[in-house]
Chain A
Amino acid sequence: MITLSINGLPLTVEPGTTLLEAARFLGIEIPTLCHMDGLTPYGACRLCVVEIGSAPNAKLVSSCTYPAQEGLKVRTGSARVVRARRMILELLLASCPQSKAIQDLASAHDVRRQRFRQEHETCILCGLCVRMCAEQMMAKAIGFRGRGERRSVGTPFDEPSEVCRLCGGCMYVCPACQLRCTFNEPEKAICGGCANLSAPCLEKPGFDDLMCYMAPCAACEIRKD
């Protein structure tokens, strides 16, 4: 067992516990974007940043990937952490200002201005959809392609994938597009892209056994009737 302190509160956890899990066990709120229970921690969004160590050697780490260490002193709300977190949110907001999830986070952390050029990206490369597809749906239909500024998420060769079951899990977890977000409330819809999608149960034979994340979906409503 490992004993560490978070914001001065002592805590004993199992080896291998991440700082995020430890903090949540104590009820300390750490905002996350690319973290999801059931998926491997990835550390892409850096929003879960915390400060470890003491004064001259203190450093910022992403709590979702940092394992608890004996005697570690963690601060989740120091001035440095808050400053870093707000900067990250400002940058995320610049790259993807249309995202409801990012807007909400920015608003919650009192980010009121956005000094960088807006990019209107459709993806923040958080990897949630890639992990969802690989680890929960066991399909591995989408993945990262390229690197650097050409890095993108999609199927190989941009062809419709043979292993994709059109479950919609990738869209369900996506913080940027939220394609399915407000389909049944058109007046609140952000992009309206979902209206053009065909339902997987109509597209793929033998779909009844499969999990579907597309709800609410017109096809289900029709079936009920």
Chain B
Amino acid sequence: MATDPNPGGLISLLQDIQARYGYLPADQLKAVAQKTGRPLTDVYGVATFYRSFSLKPRGKHLCSVCLGTACHVRGGPIIADEFSRQLDAPAGETTADREFTLETVNCLGACALGPIVVVDGHYFSNVSPVGVKEIVERARAGLDRVEVKTDQRIFPVEVSCARCNHSLMDAEHLVDGHPSIRVTLAFNSVHGHIWLSSLYGSFNVESDHEIPMDTVADFFCPHCHAHLTGSANCPVCETPMVPMIVRGGGIVQICSRRGCRGHILDIGGQVF
């Protein structure tokens, strides 16, 4: 086959599209062919050649079961069967509710720990058929939730309002098993309470209302009703941050944008 005299990052383009949509829609592939001047057959050939590209919409969670040699002899196929039974979808397919995509891969490079399963980038080693159900349930609940008990770096803070210095802790409402931080919140003419985890490093929250991702909310003290949003901006996304006084000295600032993980903890001039 004649080598292309003008190769131009086709794979990178397709990776960007896949990152945006989760798969490669047909009209996007046609647009790539048109914009880059490449024949559609080349674009389609590359898109179908690589396993990491998918032409079909994928589920929210991606389960990759390793069927490499080591995992295979340690029971990888049984794990794959159990997954497809639990999810009610054959390997390579997406469940009807678009929650899970099950795929088999040929090696994940951790052969000593087989059988290996990777769900949403989290590795599970020495998986047994009995453990499959738990993995599925944890993935459904969201693996990105912080495992509070296992992480020693996470510690609780007690905070108070930066204006009236009343404690914001709510001992009756536990988040992550610790008293939560209760503030009132307003966005898009919605008012309600939000309970933030008092563990620094955990981003779990509970709220009266579902807060859409990327919403920038206003925070108020439940005691003095002062507007808590401060003057500092989030180091991650430049959204104004909400300062709160830490008991024992110091200030913690949290980003007011939902989903942003920009937090600053300043205790006695020492920034964490």
Contacts and interface: CB of A to CB of B under 8 A. Distances in A.
Interface of A: 40, 42, 127, 130-131, 134-135, 140-147, 155-157, 163
Interface in B87-133: none
B222 to A, nearest CB: 57
Nearest to B30: A156
B2 A135 contact: yes
B26 A143 contact: no
Nearest to B2: A40
A155 B29 CA distance: 13
Contacts of A142: 41
Contacts of B40: 140, 156, 163
B48 A163 contact: no
B167 to A, nearest CB: 62
A146 B2 contact: no
B45 A145 contact: yes
Contacts, number: 39
Interface size classification for chain B: 10 to 19
Q: Is the interface of B mostly helix, strand, loop or mixed?
A: helix
Contacts of B42: 140, 143
B44 interface: yes
Nearest to B26: A157
B1 interface: yes
Interface string B183-200: 000000000000000000
Contacts of A130: 1
A145 B44 contact: yes
Top 6 A-B pairs ranked by shortest CB distance? Answer: A143-B41, A140-B39, A156-B44, A145-B48, A146-B48, A156-B40
14 contacts: A42-B1, A127-B1, A134-B1, A140-B39, A140-B40, A143-B39, A143-B41, A143-B45, A145-B44, A146-B49, A147-B49, A156-B43, A157-B44, A163-B39
Given A146-B49, A156-B29, A141 B1 contact: no
Nearest to A141: B41
Contacts of B49: 146-147
Could you say which of B1, B29, B42 has the most chain A C-beta atoms within 10 Å of its C-beta?
Answer: B1
Contacts of B39: 134, 140, 143, 163
